[in-house]
Amino acid sequence: MNNKKGFALIEVVLVLGIIAVMLLLVTPINSSSLEKHRIDQFLETLTADVLHVQHLSAVSSQIVKIQFSSDRYKIFNGIDLLTTRVYPQNVSIENNTDMKEISFSQTGTIREAGQLKIKTADSEYTLVFQPGKGRFYIDES
């Protein structure tokens, strides 16, 4: 009697082929969710930076502001550069918006109200700063 234990080569190749096809189908789903996570992280960081600038404006004697350019934004305390943040890939802030910078008064209200449009590959976000308010909100469209 020949009792063979194990798998034939064709069975192993067939199982590996099925696994490879499944991995090819799952990879695009993962990359799109990774891109969404990257954009969410950018929006959270921008929100935290705006709140930080608002707080620094209340405790500092200098004007603290966020200036936007085509590929990054910079945070200044007076003339001193505090930090620079580069936009993630596929994220842009419209240059033709009415807000080129964000700054707050010492009472915590926005100096110049307006909207800031952020475009991604899949969607568009609008940061809305209302006059006389210290809060802002993000509208996704």
pLDDT of 130 higher than 70: yes
Residue 98: pLDDT band by 50, 70, 90 thresholds?
Answer: low
Token couple for 95:
């240059």
Please name each of the domains of the chain with its CATH number: 11-140 (3.55.40.10)
| pLDDT the model gives residue 3 | 67
For residues 21-56, one letter each, b for 16 or more C-beta atoms within 10 angstroms of the residue's C-beta and e for the rest, the string is: eeeeeeeeeeeeeebeeebeebbeebeebbeebbeb
Rg, Å, the chain Cα set:
25
| pLDDT the model gives residue 97 | 60
Summarised one tens digit per residue, pLDDT across range 51-96 is 999 999 989 888 999 998 888 999 999 899 999 999 998 888 875 5
| pLDDT the model gives residue 7 | 74
Summarised one tens digit per residue, pLDDT across range 7-63 is 788 999 999 999 999 988 877 766 778 888 899 999 999 999 999 999 999 898 889
